[in-house]
Each structure stands twice: as C-alpha cells, then as structure tokens.
A and B are shown apart, each in its own frame.
Chain A
Amino acid sequence: MLTTPYVTSYLSEHFAHDDFGTLKGYERRGGYQAAREALTRMSPEEVVQRVKDSGLQGRGGAGFGTGLKWSFMPRETEKPKYLVCNADESEPGSFKDRILMERGAHQLLEGILIAAWATGAEKTFLYVRGEYAWPASQLERAIAEAYAKGYLGPKVMGTRFRHDVVLMRGAGAYICGEETGLLESLEGKKGQPRKKPPFPAQVGAFGMPSTVNNVETFCHVPHILSKGVEWFRGFGTEKSPGTTLFGVSGHAVRPGLYELPLGTPLDEIVFEHARGVPHGRKVKGVIPGGMSMPILPAGELDVRMANEFLRERKTMLGTGGIMVMDETTCMVRVACIITYFFRDESCGQCTQCREGTGWLNKIMSRIERGAGLPADLDVLLDVAGKMEGQTICAFADAAAWPVQGLLRHFRADFEAHLREQKCPFPESFEL
C-alpha cells in the first residue's frame, strides 16, 4: 500500500511516520499550534483575511478562492452554521484526499477547526466516500482522540468555542462529490445537485448556512497560519500559490503521488518524477486534472500545472489527477470509457446531461465497434456544446469537456475508425 508520496513537501512531510496520524505524533511535530493560535489570539475576520491573503484556491477541482468562500458565510445570523468537508474523492485519476486522511487525519481536523473558527461554524460534517473504509476509520480514530483531548466538543482547547465533527459515509455516487449533491446525500436524500440560488452559504446542509471545502483545502490552512502568507506564497505561482498532491496514474513507470508546487511543468512530473512511460514507448496524451478535464497531446506537456496556464491550453487543473496514456492507446476507447462513466453517473435531473451523456456514449461505442458514420464527429461536438454551461451543476460540462478535448487533439484516431470501420489500435487496452 502506498503510504507516502514519492515527493513530499509540507502537507505530506511526515506521512512516512506512522505516528503522524496519531494526536501525540501530530502534536510532537507542531500540530494544533496553529489552531490554538487562531482560537486564542485571532478574530475570525483575521483568519479569513489571512487565508484570503494567502491566495489559497480550493483543491476540489473548481479552484475557487478559499478565503473568499469563507467570507460568504453570514456573520449575523440566528441559525447554526455548518462546515462540510468534501471527502467524497470520486474523480477518476484522483487519490490525494485518501492519503491525506489515512496518514494525516489530525492535519485535516486542525484545518477544519481553524475554518470553523473563521466561519463561526458549530459543526462539521465530514462526508467520506463510501469505498474509503480505511480512511474513514483513521478519521474516526482521530476524531475520538480530539474529543478526548478537548480539541473538539463544547470547549475547544479551553475556549468558549464549541465545535463538533460528524463523520458520514457516502454510498458510492460520483455526483455526491458535487457540493450540493453532497448536501442532499448528507441529508439522506437522493444525491442530486441543487439549483442555485440559494447558494450553500445561505441555505446549505439541513437548510443552514454552510461552507463546503475539499479535504486538501483544509489541510493547507494550518500551515498558512503557522508559517505565514509569505512562506505559503513561496510555493507555486503568483496566482496559484502552494503545493498540491499530483496523482499520476496510467502508463507511467512510477505511478503515485507527488507533492509539488503548483506551476510545476507537466512534462517534469510525467518524465522526471514519474519517470516516463514504460516499455520504451512514447506518450500519446495526458489528462492533467482528473477524468473530467480535457486531455493534452504529447506535444503540449510543457504546460505549467496551474489554472492560469492550463486554461490557455483549454484544460484545467481539476483535482491534479494526471493520467498518462502511451502510443498504443486508442483514444476512441478512452472516449468510450469516459462517456460511459458520465452516462452512468449523471444524476438525471437536467435534460442536457441525462440525455446528452447517454447519446455521447452510444455514438462513441458505435464508432469503436466499427459502425461510425461520417456525420458522427460533428454531432458529438455539437451535442457536447449543447451540454456545456447549461445545467444545474458542472457535471454536464465535465462530461462534455473530455469529448471536446479528445476530438480536438486526436481527431485522426476517430477518423481512422470511421475510415476503416474497425478499431485500428489492436494493442490498446481492452474495454
């Protein structure tokens, strides 16, 4: 089992040590000092401002400013306010949150405590992906330790601040990783994203003002508070500061996690850190940020891994899940898998998503079967275009972008299928 990233930085520095996951081990390495500092010496507004100044972007995929998100929580309200930790890590290609929970549960809890103080939340719901049994058990153990030590409960660290953490296991739907789909699932309903307005900061979990953050996002916060904004901004780029855990999978010699500053060039990650493609083959394409992000062809791997650069290549950082594909890969098969996934996981509310995901998958499967029609490629692009930006949540976009990316960079693969009326990549992985 992978216990520590191949390349570490501040988040994963101590992951090699088993006791880092325990309260004792975490505190010995300076844990919970940032939370104590925040709760006893800083006002919530100061904490929000500090996180704003740090430029920390949410690590769940959308890259929204964390401090700004926290500032949306109403200050004057009679209602209880909630934090929600999105630990439903379900983006194919992404496996960073898992290790952050398995190896550094208290780091996450400390981040949650600080965020709770900053937003005035009295309770955090930790929504953990159903399949993550081991990470959930580690969190449960850490939560129990924190309660026993008085770091959670009615008087956090002896202050008058109350905070509770409730862990809830998901049941295995991708869409429950979407902020409001998660909230519905958390409330015991079918996981279907909510229309906005109202936004979660007004009406969130159980109708109360809520802020939803990704696991990794919380984990950065103690470091920002204890080491300072300047230090944090020393990592990454001007617009995308800090590190992230890049997860490399697919045709890589050394797949795994790499904690590197944002802005690290993709080819450096793939060829230096992950040591390139096995069997002396060449790279054909790389998905830079989890399956919903458009693919990049071999010639564009010089891009720096931060949204401001990736957007120029019409893709995004997403969750930093890097999927490497070698030259034997049939991109139509890739498209089949991706469209099947999104067809299967669409919640089915919005017309474009419910119908569009199915249609894209049916066409892709037909092309791969050798029954493609000349008009198919135009229809694919047109349908993907009609799905984009028109639905309740970003799922339909996430389903449309990979198709657009594959057709943008690997149209030749599709045309070969149409021309030969069969799959011309016999060595590609099997469906």
Chain B
Amino acid sequence: MPKIRIDGREIEVPAGRTLLQAIDDLGLLMNGVEIPHYCWHPKLSIDGSCRLCQVEIEGTPKLQIACNTPVQDGMVVHTQSERVRAAREGVMELLLINHPLDCPICDQAGECKLQDYAYDYGLTQSRSREPRRALKKNVDLGPTIVFDQERCILCRRCVRFCEEVTGTGELRVFGRGDRSVVDIWPGVPLDNPYSMNVADMCPVGALTTKDFRFKIRVWFLEEVPGVCTGCANGCNVYLGVANNKVYRYTPRRNDAVNQTWICDAGRLSYRRIGAADRQRSALVRGELGVPEPASFERALAEAASRLRRLVEVKGPGVIAGVASAHATNEDLYTFRRFLLALGAGESGVAVPRGDSDALLVKEEKAANAEGARVLGFGPARAVLERLRAGGVEALVVLGSDLLGERGLEDLSPLDRLDTLVVLAAHQSDLQRVAHVVFPTRHAAEKQGTLTSHAGRVQRVVPAVEPAFEAHAEGDVLHRLGAALGLPGFEGSYDPRAVFRALVREVPAFAGLDEGALGDQGAPLAAPAERPKASRASPGARA
C-alpha cells in the first residue's frame, strides 16, 4: 500500500484510489483530515467542478483537487497551508456572490455545508455590489421535492444521482456559464422510488423534501442511529428526534447495507412510529364480547389465567404461536423460549410481502424476517392449516401480519378460538376478535437487534418513549411466562441479557459481541462456521 504524508502525518492508503477516496476509505475525511468538498460524494462519480477540495502537493506547482488526484507513494500533501486556505476562501466568496443568503428562512440552515464552510472560509462582508441572480423559487419538481434554484451551487450531485444510481435522469444542468441552472425537463417530474435522496445529498437548501421542510429547525433534532423497518434490507438511518417525536429518517451511511441511500417508502415509514392507529392501551374482552381497555396488569392476569386453564384442561399442544417479522431478535428468542417452556404446538412467522427492486427495496416488508427464520420460526402456513382444521384452541400472535396477503382471508377461523392473545404496536382487525391485547413498542422505542435479509445483525436503541404504557414483545412474554410460572422466566426482561443468551445458545449468533455491533452491525456466522449445536432447536431450555 502506498504511503503518503498528509499534514505531517504518515498514513498508508489504498492503492488505485484518489486522495479524497483514500482518505474517505480510511474514515478520516472530515474526521482528522479536513478537506472541505461539495461536488465529491463517496457513492457518485467524480465531478471535479466545485474546486473546494484543492490541496497542495509538494512537487506540483498548481494546487490539485483531492477528489481526482490519484494517490502515489511518497506523496506529501498539505491541506491547511496558506495557499490552500486562500483557494478555499476564493471558492467560498465566489459561491456566495449569487447565493441568496436567506439562511433565516432556509430549511437547510444548521445542516448546510455552504453555511459551515462559510464560517470556516468565508468573508464576514461580501465584496460584491452586483445584483444577485434572480432564479426560480419554490419549484415543485415532483411528488417529493421542492427546489430553490437560487440557493443551488451547481455541485450536480443530484444530477449524477439520478443518472448513475436510479438511472432515471430526471435532473440536468441547463444553460451554461452563470446562467447554468439545475432543472427538470418540461413535463417530466422528478419521480422515482429514491427521489428524496437528492435532498440529503444537496449540500445546501436548494432541494428539500416536502415531507420534512418547515417541520422543525434541525438544530433541535437529536440524530439517533437506528434501522429502517420498512423492509428486510435493514437500511441504516438516523432518526431525527425532538420533543419525544421522530420527525424524519435520513439515511446513515453503511457501505455493507445501503451505501448512503434509502428508498422513499422507507424514509416515510417513520410515520408509523407516531401513527394515529397505534395500540395505546391493553384490552381485555369484556362481558359484551368486545375488547375493552384494561390495565396492563389486568391483561396479564387475564392472559395467564386463560392459558393456564387451557393447559390444565386440554394440554399445551392446543396452544399455537405466530411470530412477527417486525419484532427484534430478543423478542423472538423470548417468544421461542416461551412457546417451548409452555410446550405449545405449532408456531411460525407471518411475513408481509410487497414489491422489490435491484437497489435496496426487498420483497419482505419487515426488518427481521431473516432473524425469525434463524431463530427457528418457519412459515406461518402450518399454524394456519391447523387453525383452519380446528386443532388450535389458543393463539398467541405477535403483530398483525397474520391477516396479510398469504395469511388469513377472514377472521372466521379466529372466532372459534378459546383464547386469542395479541401483542401489537398498531391496531388491526385482530384486536376486534382478541381476548387479550397488549400494546407493544415500535423498533424505534426499544433496545434490541434486527437481522437483515443478508444476515447482518444491527442494533436499535430507544429513540423515543411511547406516550402510553407499552412494552417490547419480549418484555410482555417474559412477564407472561413469569405469571404462568414457567422455568427461565424469573426476574425481569433484559434485552442485553437475552442477546448474550442468543450468542451462547444460537449457533448462527456465535461469536457476536453486542459492543462490537456498533452502529454498522455485524454479519451472522456463515452456516459452515457455526458451532454444532448440542440441541436441535435453539435455546430449548435456557
């Protein structure tokens, strides 16, 4: 590997890369090596036009753009010299002579690279006495994006994204010289499943999403790392949180999962967290035969007594379980243990499905379908068949995907049940026929891990707290197990302890370390490398 000296610090860099790429590969860009840049983006082709990333290379008379200069062994680079600073100041002054400087009413303020670098390299007073360019404002580019042409600094990231990533090519630079503008072709809107990424990439406030603009000033947001739960891809996101509310998802870079992108549907799935149809209270079926709000303890007691009676009268084999692909590995592992300890009969997982594409979107519309499979949950088909055949007396259901496309066509098989216990974060028709309902938490509200379609285990942490009493599925099941006096359900539910048990007991999780998961996750052990389990099913008796 070539060695270069950058600002007096010797580093080994990957060969065959440009300076900016190599520094980014090492995770040092703007994180130890300060090279401001606009047009360069790690996942787009090199443009080389903003000229802000110019650096001084010894032995080369002119300053060179770091984004397009190949690394060479022995290269000596200065990123903070006087000449470099002067060049950056020049670029900033020129970018600002036509910029409207409307930060007080601009939604990008606070996360604007023009603002940031103007603080670092800008003049406090503009020397330009000329009128600024007057261009189009508040342009409706399509269903998701609003464009302010005056704020645009023509870095062309959005143009390259639509050309190179989505292949849709809606955006172009029209005109030339200082009449250059980004725009769409007449009558062809910016409309593709990834369109909102252009707003993330836009370093200034030119492209903003209709969804987020003017909702809140970004400096009030805490950006909590999390995982999108819209599909099985497990795209990494930041949850923009303020006032105990998630205002947006923005993609968080993970080169092994989603690069720096997220699909529009996934981005907007944050709305499920604070949705109006959240299950906000526990329910117990009352004397009128309809579920009525009840305290959590009352629901717990009701569910426990119904299950206990059934076990005593008919044996545990008439109890079946349907897991949710939305639940965490910890929830599902607890469910698995619960069913085994109870001696329940059939179990499976219901996975919602939908469209997929070649970029990010996966057919399975839940974040942890793979985790459920790894933890031993087969398709819910077996449960449904036995249910239709009348062999099930009690059903414990996580989520509502049982009612999905490949699930139950109608509720009639459920009518016959002696006991239907539902653990769900959102309302559905299941609740109408349930005997006991427990409100649960969204992935943004709990601690745990999710396994992506590719077998990558990724961590989620509570970003917000529900405004009502709700517990993770694992927590509810742990308490239910305790109420039933099942072995291994003593004490209280601790997702971290469950994860450690997973690592101990489930061969696919062998070797994973919660701390090492970090923000980027880690892959499950490859099947060939998994230790031989002493027990056929995972964690039969923990």
Contact = CB atoms under 8 A, between A and B. Distances in A.
A362 interface: yes
Nearest to A362: B130
Interface in B167-185: 173, 175-180
A351 interface: yes
A125 B66 CA distance: 33
A197 B70 contact: yes
A362 B98 CA distance: 12
A373 B127 CA distance: 11
Contacts of B48: 195, 392
B224 interface: no
Interface string B262-293: 00000000000000000000000000000000
B94 A356 contact: yes
The winner among A345, A348, A356 for most chain B CB atoms within 10 A is A348
Which interface residue of A383, A389, A390 has the most chain B CB atoms within 10 A? A390
Contacts of A375: 127
A355 B51 contact: no
A351 B52 contact: yes
Contacts of A173: 176
B49 A358 contact: no
B356 interface: no
A366 B180 CA distance: 23
B54 A348 contact: no
Nearest to B173: A348
Interface string B45-71: 011111110100000001101001010
B50 A351 contact: yes
B90 interface: yes
A195 B93 contact: no
Contacts of A197: 68, 70
A345 B177 contact: yes
A390 B95 contact: no
Nearest to B38: A351
A349 interface: yes
B130 A357 contact: no
A62 to B, nearest CB: 15
A348 B154 contact: yes
Interface in A160-191: 173, 175, 190
A363 B131 CA distance: 11
B129 interface: yes
A311 to B, nearest CB: 15
A344 B178 CA distance: 8
Contact of A348 (B46, B93, B95, B178): B178
Contacts of B62: 389-390
A358 B133 CA distance: 10
A390 B91 CA distance: 10
Interface residues on A, range: 20 to 34
Contact of A354 (B65, B86, B87, B154): B154
B225 to A, nearest CB: 33
A363 B46 CA distance: 33
A304 interface: no
A135 to B, nearest CB: 25
A355 B87 contact: no
A195 B52 contact: no
B49 A350 contact: yes
Interface string A112-140: 00000000000000000000000000000
B97 A390 contact: no
Given A351-B52, A351-B95, A390-B63, A358 B177 contact: yes
B178 A390 contact: no
A173 B177 CA distance: 11
Contacts of B153: 351
Contact of B128 (A344, A359, A392): A359
B178 A343 contact: yes
Given A355-B95, A390-B51, A379 B127 contact: yes
Contacts of A349: 47, 49
Given A195-B46, A348-B154, A390-B51, A359 B177 contact: no
26 contacts: A175-B176, A190-B173, A195-B46, A195-B47, A195-B48, A197-B70, A343-B178, A345-B176, A345-B177, A348-B173, A348-B175, A349-B47, A351-B51, A354-B177, A354-B178, A355-B98, A358-B178, A359-B128, A362-B130, A386-B90, A386-B91, A389-B62, A390-B51, A390-B62, A390-B63, A392-B48
Given A346-B178, A347-B176, 19 more contacts: A195-B68, A345-B176, A345-B177, A351-B51, A351-B95, A351-B154, A352-B91, A354-B154, A354-B178, A355-B94, A358-B178, A359-B94, A363-B129, A373-B129, A386-B91, A386-B93, A390-B51, A390-B54, A392-B49
The 10 tightest CB contacts between A and B, nearest first, are A386-B90, A358-B178, A348-B180, A195-B48, A355-B94, A346-B177, A362-B130, A349-B49, A348-B176, A348-B177
